[in-house]
A and B are shown apart, each in its own frame.
Chain A
Amino acid sequence: MHATKQRTASADPATGVVFETRELSRHYGSGDTLVKALDKVSLTIAPGEFTAIVGPSGSGKSTLLQLMGGLEAPTAGEVYLRGQAISSMSGRELSDFRRDHIGFIFQAYNLIPVLTAAENCEYIMLLQGLPKAERQARVESMLTRVGLSGKADRRPAQLSGGQQQRVAVARAMVSQPDIILADEPTANLDSQTGSDLLDMMHELNRREGMTFVFSTHDPMIMERASRLIQLRDGRIESDEVRS
């Protein structure tokens, strides 16, 4: 479909930083109704991190993930992907940036209902212009790694909520992005299923070095993170790396 940029290692070993935000702000409204959804947030994400963004509802978790993923433009500040600012990108460049560098997992309904699990994963590689053999090999191996090898031909409606989220993880991974941004990926699952999904994500992080940033307000889930960033009122309240 489109020429793909040759993918190198996800992280830039020279700096040890995949993602960086500098003084990142996003305001909604104006005057009395001004909401500082995000207020001068600066942080860096190193390759292979398994970072949880936590905080009460309305603290700015979703806004931060949207800005990092190039889905929203900041009011002020900048997002850098391996040193390159994304604010200068055109709409189309942003589209391609998301396609090639970001894996997204949303809270629910991630999948295209008319496509099978395998096709949902294949779709993004079609956008990247990968050859058929490569696409099929990656889909097969990816679905196996998320434990859905027998369900490749099922449509989302024929899968449970937990299985759908696993396909979403697989889709986010197959395009080999630099980072996967997941906004409350377990919020729509029961706690056991959510916990299993997170274990699986953690496994992929440990074994394959994939960088994850996910938001949650579930204490059980945040326990698993290797780094915990606490947001409150659009500001970073604490940022701790755990063993």
Chain B
Amino acid sequence: MQMTWQLAARNLNRNRRRTLLTGLIISLSTAALILTDAFILGFTDTAVRSATRMFPGDAQIHQLDYLAERDEALVIEAPQARLSQLASDPEVVGYSPRVMAFGMISSAADNRATQVIGIDPAQERTVSRLADAMAEGDYLAGDGAETQLLMGRRLAELLDVELGDRIVISVHNQEWGGAEQALFRVSGLYDFNARMLDEETVFVLQAPLQTMLGVDDAVHEIALALRTPALASDPDLPLWQRLSDEQVKAQGWTTLMPQLAAMLDMTRASMAIIGIMLFLLAALGVTNGIFMSIYERTWEIGVLLAIGTRRLAVFRLILTETLLLALGAIAAGLVLGWLATLTLGAIGIDYGSMELGGVAMAEQIRPRASWAQYSLYPPVVLALTLLAAMYPAAHAARIVPSRALHKSL
């Protein structure tokens, strides 16, 4: 046994360049697997954060049927008690009550159907980036005029309006069932780089919209920011139970934005497929490298077999060589993958204002390391490398000594 290790180590040392090249294949694929995984983690982080932190929040509370029907009559009644509960929940770091209406907005030039959202400016800051997205004018002031209105710069272009111009909003009043109109003035313009928000949404203060809708102090949605945003992807989080009752339901972003969840799943799946294919190619490279080393030693293996080495021992020798090579190469690959993750994580990968599934990637993607990358991939790579060595090892074990040595005996 000791001889097997010694022989294996010395054999690897024989053709250093080939050993290095074969090892490099293993190292690079280990590093690539780790970096790809880290990239997907970072990508998911950024995509989710961009999507949730831009406006929707990590989670939302609605009247039970609201999301299915989007009927303005399906309100969260007397939200004050719920808001106090949220204020004291340690897991909730921000919450914003929202009045949501579908309406017609008209400028002097044109009119369009949009969503009209009534917010509490101070609370909205704790959940979304609306305040940060302001490009011109001012964010809503809680104690300012009731006619303040924010819209996207894109929508302002479409309606041909500027700061200070008049806008008439028309919504459906829930008490008497008719159209209720009111005059607003454009007080601020924002850019989210997301079509829905930039072209089909306007923001006003909560009170005037509640009056127009005739819903008293009721709201349609409470958006939440959580202390640990990653938890929001768990559909069984206890928090959902805590915040739900027979009237309202709290849900995380994966249920609220199934398209985003599906897109991320798809991204992960396609990355996994690419990873598997890359690794199969790498395995072929390893198989090839080992075959070359065996072809070069056909004679010698013939001698080993002729003088009484069992075939199984030859098989074991080739696998031992591969094991030694793989252990070294994987260790190098781990360091390489870690350094690459660290470097790219520090620099960040800029996706500009690329929009994915209606979500603009608001931040750079920062590859993120995880324990799974360093505990799961090494044994998988090792196992696949040994598997890749089985075929050439079996070939070596089947060498016929009299044929390998036909020049002599």
Binding site for A on B (CB under 8 A): 1, 3, 7, 10-11, 13-14, 299-300, 303-311, 313, 401-402, 405, 407-409
Contacts and interface: CB of A to CB of B under 8 A. Distances in A.
Nearest to B401: A71
Q: What 6 A-B pairs come out closest when comparing CB atoms?
A: A99-B308, A107-B408, A114-B10, A183-B409, A106-B408, A71-B402
B7 A112 contact: yes
Contacts of B313: 127
B309 A95 contact: yes
B408 A95 contact: no
A interface: dominant SS: mixed
A189 interface: no
Given A1-B3, A98-B307, A181-B409, 10 more contacts: A72-B402, A95-B308, A98-B306, A98-B308, A104-B307, A106-B306, A112-B304, A114-B7, A114-B14, A184-B408
In which size bucket is the chain A interface? 35 or more
A96 B402 contact: no
Nearest to B3: A126
A91 interface: yes
B307 A1 contact: no
A104 B310 CA distance: 16
Contact of A106 (B3, B7, B303, B305): B303
A62 B7 contact: no
10 contacts: A66-B409, A71-B402, A96-B310, A102-B308, A106-B306, A107-B409, A109-B303, A112-B300, A113-B300, A183-B408
Contacts of A71: 306, 401-402, 405, 409
A71 B308 CA distance: 10
A95 B409 contact: no
B307 A171 contact: yes
B312 to A, nearest CB: 8
Contacts of A107: 407-409
A123 interface: yes
Contacts of A96: 308, 310
A95 B3 contact: no
Contacts of A102: 308
Contacts of B304: 112
A62 B310 contact: no
Interface string A154-189: 000000000000000001000100000101100000
Nearest to A128: B308
B408 A108 contact: yes
A119 to B, nearest CB: 8
B408 A66 contact: no
B243 to A, nearest CB: 69
Nearest to B308: A99
Nearest to B8: A114
B7 A115 contact: yes
Contacts of A62: 408-409
A133 to B, nearest CB: 15
A124 interface: yes
B70 to A, nearest CB: 76
A147 B401 CA distance: 29
Contacts of A104: 306-307, 409
A171 B308 CA distance: 12
Contact of B308 (A100, A111, A115, A183): A100
A162 B34 CA distance: 54
A106 B405 contact: yes
A242 interface: no
Contacts of B11: 114
Nearest to A1: B1
